[in-house]
Copies of this chain bind each other. A is one copy, B any other.
C-alpha cells in the first residue's frame, strides 16, 4: 500500500501516522520529497482498511499494491485447486458440464431431463428448488420438495447435484446436496457466505450482476476464511447498457480470474445471454478462453417451464451442442 501525504504535512502528523501503523502491525517506509512525503506500507496489509487511512486529514491518496484477498490469491497458492465432486474433477485441466432445468418442477421432469443430459455427456445435474424471482407473484420453487426430487434423480442416474441456497436456515436441507450454489443476487450476502465457510461442501459462487472480479474474489475469501477451500467461481454475465442480450458475458473474466486466483472458473452461457441459440457459440468461446466448466439449462418442455423457459435448450438441442463442446474440449486438451 502506497500512501501519499498532502503537501505541507507536518512532522508531528507523520509521527501520528507512524503510531497508527504500529497499531496495525505494519511497517511504513517514509520517503520525504521536496513537495510531498510518500509512505510505502510493508507487511500484511490485507487487514488495513484503505478507507480509514484515506480519511486521515493529512493523507492525499492511498493506493493498494497487493490484492486484498489471501486464501483465494494465486500468489500464495500457485497450483490450481482441483475439486472432486463425486468422482468428477473440476479445475487443473479437468472440465465438467453441469446441466438441468432452471426449476425442479416434478419428479418426471427432473428425472427425464437428468437422463437425457447424462446421455449427452453432462456429468452433474443442476436444478433450482429455491428460486430467487424478481416478482413475489412468480413461482418461487418447490423448495424442500424440490431438493427431494433432485435426490431422486441423483439416485436414478448417479449424477452429483448442484442447487441454490437462498438463506442460512435452509442449510439442513442441503445435507445430501453435492454442490451448494450461491446465486448472483446473494454474492454479497455475507452472513450466508460465513455460514457456508463452516460447511465442507463445494460452493459454486456466482458473480453478481454488477460486481467486479475483485469483489467476487473477496466473497470467495469470506467462504475460505471460514475454512472451506472448495470454492468454484462462476461468470454468468454482467449488467451493462446493451439490451440485445439479457446480460453481457464477461469472457475476459475467465483468464483474469484464473490468473489472480487458483480457484476453478465455470461459465453459465444460458443466463449470460438469455437466448438458447447463443449457448453454443458462448460455450465454445468459454472453453477456448480456459473455462473449467459450463452450466447449461436444459428443459424437456421449455414453453411449459415455470421459470426462465425461453433460455433453455431442449434435450435434442443440448445433445447437438454437447457434440461441439466435446470436440472443443478435446481440441483444448481438457480432461473430463
Tell me the dominant secondary structure on chain A's binding face: mixed
Contact with B along A117-140 (1 / 0, CB 8 A): 000000000000010111111111
Partner of A245, one of B169, B185, B222, B256: B256
Which of A225, A249, A306, A307 has the most CB atoms of chain B within a 10 A radius of its CB? A249
The interface residues of chain B lying within 8 Å CB-to-CB of A302 are 55
- Chain B CB within 8 A of A242 CB: yes
A42 touches B34 (CB 8 A): yes
Query: CB within 8 A of A52: which of B136, B284, B287, B309?
Result: B309
Asked if A278 contacts B255 (CB within 8 A), the reply is yes
Interface size class of A (residues with CB under 8 A): 35 or more
Q: Are the CB atoms of A248 and B248 closer together than 8 Å? A: yes
Contact between B56 and A303, CB atoms less than 8 A apart:
yes
Are the C-beta atoms of B47 and A214 separated by less than 8 Å? Answer: no
A36 to B31, CA, bound (A): 12
Q: A residues 196-248 with Cβ under 8 Å of B?
A: 208-210, 212-215, 218, 221-222, 225, 238-245, 248
Interface residues of A (CB under 8 A from B): 2, 4, 29, 31, 33-36, 38, 40, 42, 46-47, 49, 51-52, 54-57, 60-61, 63, 65, 68-69, 130, 132-140, 166-170, 185-186, 188-192, 194, 208-210, 212-215, 218, 221-222, 225, 238-245, 248-256, 259-260, 272-273, 277-278, 281-282, 284-290, 302-310, 312, 327-328, 331
| Further contacts, 7 of them, CB under 8 A, given A55-B310, A166-B191, A185-B190 | A2-B4, A52-B305, A52-B310, A136-B190, A136-B225, A240-B240, A240-B241
